[in-house]
Structure 1
Amino acid sequence: MTRPYIPLNALRAFEAAARHLSFTNAAIELHVTHAAVSQQVKSLEQQLGCQLFVRVSRGLMLTTEGESLLPVLNDSFDRIADTLDRFSSGQMREKLKVGVVGSFATGLLLPRLEDFNRRYPHIELQLSTHNNRVDPAAEGHDYTIRFGSGAWHGTEAQCICPAPLSPLCNPAIARQLQQPADVHKFTLLRSFRRDEWSQWLQSMNEHAPSPAHPVMIFDSSLTMIEAALLGAGIALAPVRIFNHLLQSEKLVRPFAAEIDLGGYWLTRLQSRPESTAMTAFSGWLMDTFLPGAH
């Protein structure tokens, strides 16, 4: 059965009256008369064939039918308002949610975001940082930027840039490092990947640290570098991320040798369709970090 047309004004009058439980306050909000709100609600009740309000001594009270209708209208009007708010200069604004491993966010992405915002003012970029252990589905990410090999189950991945690791420390410790074996004199700072220092030392033809060697483990390169700056030990970290600290000489790279255990990747769940905003972001990211590759 075809339902009769219900004017939007009648629904808006009911929604406002239901929120205020007052025709008078609803009329003030909608800039109409008390009589106009009352008539709109009465018309709506006639079309629906049920009563939406009952009058009580202090004003109005919703009936069961009115209580059922109100949240539906609240949600609908909120969605309409949100959609209209997304139009900017004749172009609909798009939201893009990106999860970013903290080191990449602070060291490489944030300094370049002004360019992205200038090129794509209609895309509202929502960033959340993580420590490389993340659930994109649970977080609702459109894209997730991670460090690793690029192999994640159910995920498509594009390499943004390599991120080789090299020892980094403060100047005081650096002055005591004449050869690679000297790192054994200090606490070794690393991520949750157990064999990082062993691989770097083996690349220098040095023996791996003993099981009893003092080690500090971090779930964030940013926290690890803070510890290195404070003299807690020698960090094995992605050099490119911390160029600003190297240039200021707060941080020192005592040896040029590096190992490649992974890079930064732009990842998307295969189950997530690629929107126009996602295409714009991935294209910009690749052009920024791998010019000519996109």
Structure 2
Amino acid sequence: MDRPQLPLNALRAFEAAARHLSLTRAGLELCVSQAAVSHQVNALEQRLGVPLFRRLPRGLALTDEGAALVPVLAESFDRISAVLDRYAGGRMREVLTLGVVGTFATGWLLPRLPDFAAAHPFVDLRMLTNNNRVDLAGEGLDYAIRFGDGAWRGADADRLMTAPLTPMCAPGIAQRLSQPGDLAGELLLRSYRPDEWPLWFETQRTPCPPLHGPMFDSSVTTAAAAAAGSGVALLPARMFEHALDQGRLVRPFAHEIETGAYWLTRLKTRKPSEAMRAFREWLIASCAELPPFGA
């Protein structure tokens, strides 16, 4: 069945006049004369068989019929504009929704995103940060970058990089630390993973002191607390190179422990789009080019 031909020019003229409540200002926006806008609105009213405006001595007022039509047109024009905006370089832009653990986002990904955007301008990236608790299906994510062992039910995972943990603290605290046992006299900042500090002390053949310091759900906030002098934190040094370079954080001991890695994950049932394939290839290649930390 043939669709009726929409009077698009008339609808656009009416929508502009309704926003401004002025035929003159609508004409200025549309780069046509006031008379042309009036003609289009009159033609639309004749076609619909109802008045859309009440003409007042100083401007316009919408009728009930006109007020009912305005939000429908505004939403429709906004959706058309949004679709047209998704074209770049002669091709359709694709939305890619990415969930990222905050530490990886701030410590590695964000500084490199301009390179990805320059190489793949058709990808419209939407990024959501989290504290490593993520629901791919429930949050409607194409990908999630998270920390762990790579074993997540129903998900495919590509290993990106390891992120060994090492004690880090403010310079003033570091001056008091010459051997692992000295940590017993400091406040040890903790994550929600209770085995990290015991494992680090075990590898140093040093008894782990009682753990009673503040607990954080994000390495980013833990690092901020450590830099402020609140205590000593176990952190992935690779993700805080900038703070180390600036001297806001110090590594009093070189020893590290590995408790997992960063992975790019997606639902097995999620068929990769072209945007997803482009991001995956770029991310894996970028991580593969990383020099050894500290080199």
Which TM-score bucket, shorter chain as reference? 0.7 to 0.9
Asked if structure 2 preserves the Cα contact closer than 8 Å seen for 1:4 and 1:47, the reply is no
CA apart distance, 1:128:
4.0
Match for 1:164: what amino acid? P
Instruction: Label 1:55 to 1:154 Cα distance change in 2 as closer, same or farther (>3 A).
Output: farther
Aligned to 1:251: 249
Instruction: Label 1:30 to 1:203 Cα distance change in 2 as closer, same or farther (>3 A).
Output: same
CA apart distance, 1:200:
1.8
Q: Does 1:67 align with 2:77?
A: no
CA apart distance, 1:153:
5.3
Distance (Å, rounded) in 1 between the aligned partners of 2:41 and 2:22: 12
1:51 partner SS? coil
Q: What's the TM-score once normalised by structure 2's chain length?
A: 0.82
Distance (Å, rounded) in 1 between the aligned partners of 2:77 and 2:195: 56
* 1:32-57: CA deviation from partner (whole Å, max 9, x where unpaired): 33333233223223333433333345
CA apart distance, 1:169:
2.7
Instruction: Label 1:32 to 1:261 Cα distance change in 2 as closer, same or farther (>3 A).
Output: same
1:161 partner SS? strand
Instruction: Label 1:178 to 1:68 Cα distance change in 2 as closer, same or farther (>3 A).
Output: same
Indicate the larger mover: 278-287 or 155-164: 155-164
Match for 1:278: what amino acid? M
1:215 partner SS? coil
Instruction: Label 1:255 to 1:126 Cα distance change in 2 as closer, same or farther (>3 A).
Output: same
* 1:133-179: CA deviation from partner (whole Å, max 9, x where unpaired): 45556765443322233344554433221222122234444444444
Identity of aligned residues (%): 55
CA apart distance, 1:28:
2.9
Asked if structure 2 preserves the Cα contact closer than 8 Å seen for 1:180 and 1:204, the reply is yes
Distance (Å, rounded) in 1 between the aligned partners of 2:141 and 2:10: 39
Indicate the larger mover: 37-46 or 192-201: 37-46
- Choose from 228, 232, 235 the match for 1:234: 232
Indicate the larger mover: 267-276 or 4-13: 267-276
How many residue pairs were aligned?
Answer: 290
Aligned to 2:191: 191
Match for 2:18: what amino acid? A
* 1:245-268: CA deviation from partner (whole Å, max 9, x where unpaired): 445555333334332222222233
- Choose from 270, 277, 284 the match for 2:275: 277
Distance (Å, rounded) in 2 between the aligned partners of 1:21 and 1:250: 57
Q: Does 1:159 align with 2:159?
A: yes
Match for 2:50: what amino acid? C
Indicate the larger mover: 73-82 or 271-280: 271-280
Instruction: Label 1:53 to 1:236 Cα distance change in 2 as closer, same or farther (>3 A).
Output: same
Q: What's the TM-score once normalised by structure 1's chain length?
A: 0.82
Instruction: Label 1:44 to 1:249 Cα distance change in 2 as closer, same or farther (>3 A).
Output: closer
Aligned to 1:16: 16
* 1:197-229: CA deviation from partner (whole Å, max 9, x where unpaired): 11222233333333xx44122222223223323
Distance (Å, rounded) in 1 between the aligned partners of 2:59 and 2:269: 51
CA apart distance, 1:74:
0.8
Distance (Å, rounded) in 1 between the aligned partners of 2:31 and 2:241: 59
Superposition pairs of residues 19-168 of structure 1, within 5 angstroms:
19-56=19-56, 58-134=58-134, 141-152=141-152, 155-168=155-168
Superposition pairs of residues 206-217 of structure 1, within 5 angstroms:
206-210=206-210, 213-217=211-215
CA apart distance, 1:230:
3.6
Match for 2:111: what amino acid? P
